[in-house]
Amino acid sequence: MKSWHCIIGILVVTTLTLLIEIPIDTWLTSATLSLILGTCALVFMAASCLLASRWGVIENLFGGLDRVYESHKWLGIWALVFATYHFVFKANLDVWNSVPILELSKYWTRLVRQLSYVALGFIVLLALNRNIPYSVWRWWHKLSGPLFLVVILHWLSFKSPITLFSPSGIWLALSCGLGVSAALYKLIFYPFLARAGEYKVTAVNRGNRALHLTLEPTHNGFNFSAGQFAFLAMRQKGLREPHPFTIASAGGPNGQVEFIIRGLGDYTKKLCECAKAGMLATIYAPYGRFKRVSQAEREIWIGAGVGISPFISWLQDPNGKEFKKATLVYCFTPSRVFPPSEELERMTAMRGVQFVRNTGGTEQLAETLREAAAQTEPHKIQVSFCGPKGLLAKVYELMEINRIPKANLQFELFEFR
């Protein structure tokens, strides 16, 4: 499922269930549109809470937690857009015979209406603001669940043709019930019920404002596939907030887990500075669906910066096969390279993977794709990418030039907020 599937699906179901409630001669009015968009905004918020729960069934439905969070973001944005129209235009007509589900005084009904819009705007703008320190952002974002209750109260208290046991009322009650349950789970029960393990830092390797962290389980670890990622929470003041990192190792006999972390934000900078052997951590995992496409005749792996992590994991996978058909393109800036390209070259040589250094620009990457398309039918080439959005756009452009179908590109979304 993609983001637009979720958004359009909710819009269609909400519209159809609402139109049943009102006279047909009022369908083409601003009041009807306002009612539909306001109701959709409520369901979008409920769906956002559901997607933020990190439940396995949701991840499976979207094909990876990175896609779940992308849809979560767009649901919030469209909820604010729809709610803005609903806030400006009256969502009621005299012929509708509207009544509230929950009777409140005029003062509280008006106040809840205004607070619900402010709450939604606060949630969305907070989620999109990258200038807020991660530790502060995370705790403020936890208010999303309680603020969602304010929006539900607005639905229950304002006059509308929706009754609780009508098709639209049942749809809203079901959506809000699932959303509240998911928000409650994430806010309170996630640390106790999520798949997690206690780990101890056994090795720390620093270089070029980056960190190679190795951890081993203190008791039982967790099973994961090469290319997946985890949420790492160090048991250290200022580092307790779970933060997503790709696992840069494959399953081993001792359950060892490795991460390659670059100090880009306030959290990662502090982690790079403070991490040391002996520290304890909680790891919530595994997540993600970034896996090799084994049926491809030719594979091109493109890792940029710390986006090299899943490919290191693939190289170490004891169950990996047919490495000779793969080429790893390591895109990096020489002054910031980590891990060193020589280390990657040794790893690829051991597996029989062709290794290409791409330093600055995209000349080596372009040449690699051109040669692959000349040696193999373009539709039989599989491209796997992990890196920043800017380079992803260039990869799409190079694939088009070499007639490699866009459907043959798999990529991990690099940013969660």
Go through 210-225 and write b for each residue having 16 or more CB atoms within 10 A of its CB, e for each that does not: bbbbbbebeeebbebb
Residue 247 inside a domain? The answer is: yes
Pairing of strands 243-246, 229-234: antiparallel
Q: What is the 3-state secondary structure (H, E, C) of 277-303?
A: CCCEEEEEEEECCCCCCCCCCEEEEEE
Residue 417 lies in a domain: no
Token pair 């250094």 in the structure block, residue:
357
End-to-end CA distance of the chain: 20
Q: Which of 298, 341, 286 has its CA nearest to residue 323?
A: 298
- Give residue 21's domain range: 3-193
- Sheet holding 326-332: strands in order across? 354-359, 326-332, 298-304, 381-386, 409-412
- Tell me the backbone φ, ψ of residue 66, rounded to 5 degrees: -65, -40
Tokens of 99: 């009544």
Which strand ranges, in their side-by-side order, compose the sheet holding 257-262?
A: 243-246, 229-234, 280-287, 196-207, 210-217, 257-262
Domain co-membership, 259 together with 302: no
Same domain, 275 and 222: yes
Please report which confidence band the pLDDT of residue 414 belongs to, taking 50, 70 and 90 as the band edges.
Answer: low
Domain containing residue 393: CATH number: 3.40.50.80
Which DSSP symbol is given to 185?
A: I
What's the CATH number where 250 sits? 2.40.30.10
* 24 and 65 part of one domain: yes
Residue 340, preceding bond cis, omega within 30 degrees?
no
Whether residue 55 lies inside any domain: the answer is: yes
Please indicate, yes or no, if residue 293 is contained in any of the structural domains.
no
Taking residues 292-296, what's their average pLDDT?
82
Boundary (domain end) residue, out of 166, 193, 220: 193
Among 193, 228, 253, the domain boundary falls at: 193
Enter the pTM of the model. Answer: 0.85
Q: Is residue 318 one of the residues assigned to a domain?
A: yes
Tens of pLDDT, residues 242-279: 888 989 987 766 788 999 998 877 888 889 989 999 99
Predicted local distance difference test score (pLDDT) of residue 324? 92
Which of 140, 164, 193 marks a domain boundary? 193
In a domain, 349, yes or no: yes
d(Cα 258, Cα 309) in Å, to the nearest integer? 9
Residue 52, in any domain of the structure: yes
Instruction: Judge residue 347's burial from the number of C-beta atoms within 10 Å of its C-beta, 0-12 exposed, 13-18 middle, 19 or more buried.
Output: middle
Do 256 and 369 have their domain in common? no
Q: Does 292 fall in a domain?
A: no
For residue 135, is pLDDT > 70?
no
Q: Are both 180 and 46 inside the same structural domain?
A: yes
Indicate the SS3 state at residue 351: helix
In tens, the pLDDT along 85-119 reads 999 998 989 899 899 999 889 888 888 888 888 88
pLDDT score at 130: 67
Q: Which residues contact 25 (CB under 8 A, 6 or more apart)?
A: none
Shared-domain flag, residues 216 and 346: no
In this structure, the answer to whether residues 13 and 35 fall within a common structural domain is: yes
- DSSP-derived 3-state class of residue 409: strand
Based on the fold, state whether residues 277 and 225 are members of the same structural domain.
yes
- The reply to whether 119 and 220 lie within a common domain is no
Q: Are residues 305 and 182 in the same domain?
A: no
User: Do 207 and 188 belong together in one domain?
Assistant: no
Output 339 or 396, whichever has higher pLDDT: 396
Residue 332, SS3?
strand
| Number of domains forming the structure of the chain | 3
Tell me: do 261 and 312 sit in the same domain.
Answer: no
